[in-house]
Structure 1
């Protein structure tokens, strides 16, 4: 008799969960993006500090600019990634970088901006 009583809640849970419509993944993602203000991220400016480094991102109708402001040995360094590519400024002077370093710095900057703005961007092409 006790064994049958354990099955009753399990059966009731299965019946109730089967009758509730499950939203699709796209509608869940759209709701999350709307709740987190992705319209601001799509066309606006965001500034934040992560691990002691200042970041700024700006977007305007497809044009974007990501910046990282830091100090290295008393030098002001600004890394910028935009529609034109990656640039590093050291004390307001463009610093030439090898392609491998430029790619690494750009990926690092892009990933911090990407994760800071989640769920914005989740609906992009993958």
Structure 2
């Protein structure tokens, strides 16, 4: 009888413990983290309106127009008395000099397209990380400057991934705010290969779209891997190379 009472008390204790225990939270996937990051950065603006974005970057004018199924990117450069307009719609590139179309060799058109796309791509991050050519993988978590981050690796499929489809990105998504505070990427171009680490600052919202500027760092130690750059940044082992600053940002929304 004594042993039966002890058994009953043990069962009651375990039942009470299970009832009072908090349910185990489900781990988020890379897609879920990116979806949340996009939600807090751009909301549903791109789904509900035609979006026109204008900004200046290093004395060059950029303009983009996003609809539900198209993306048109422009870059306007003024050199002395010449006005050069680069126009990119999908994979179709066209250059105009003084408002007249000019022929551009395919090899150069690819380079110009990549250059135009790169500036626009970074300007609206994390929007674009759900494109069909994007592959996302949660590779861990990391603590930077006292804050906790999801660490997500992004690669690109060759089809639809553009000229630089072999580039690899890592995004550090703040676990509290779901904003991408840091990113790193590797590149392999004709003039060399390397890695960059970017720290976001000067956050502002223009017509519900989040924009940031970046401190752009490089590593002078070739022993570092891309995945280690946040740790190198925390240890002050990276060198500030440049600042990525968007000026005169304007956003116009036309409801569909």
By percentage of residues, which structure has more helix?
Answer: 1
- CA deviation profile, 1:12-35 (whole Å, cap 9, x unmatched): xxxxxxx65432222211111011
Q: Does structure 1 conserve the Cα–Cα contact (< 8 Å) formed by 2:46 and 2:68?
A: no
Residues in 2 aligned to 1:120 and 1:38: alpha-carbon distance in whole angstroms: 10
* Matched positions, count: 108
| 1:87 and 2:94 correspond | yes
What are the residue-to-residue correspondences of 1:96-107 with 2, within 5 Å? 96-107=103-114
- TM-score, length-normalised on structure 1? 0.76
Q: CA RMSD in A?
A: 1.8
- Determine which of 114, 132, 151 is the counterpart of 1:125: 132
Residue ranges of structure 2 left out of the alignment (5+ in a row): 1-23, 134-256
By percentage of residues, which structure has more strand?
Answer: 2
Deviation (angstroms), 1:51:
1.5
Residues in 1 aligned to 2:38 and 2:95: alpha-carbon distance in whole angstroms: 32
Residue ranges of structure 1 left out of the alignment (5+ in a row): 1-18
- CA deviation profile, 1:59-96 (whole Å, cap 9, x unmatched): 11212210001101221111000136001111100011
* 1:74 alignment partner in structure 2: 81
- TM-score, length-normalised on structure 2? 0.39
Structure 1 residue ranges, 4+ long, deviating more than 6 angstroms after superposition: none
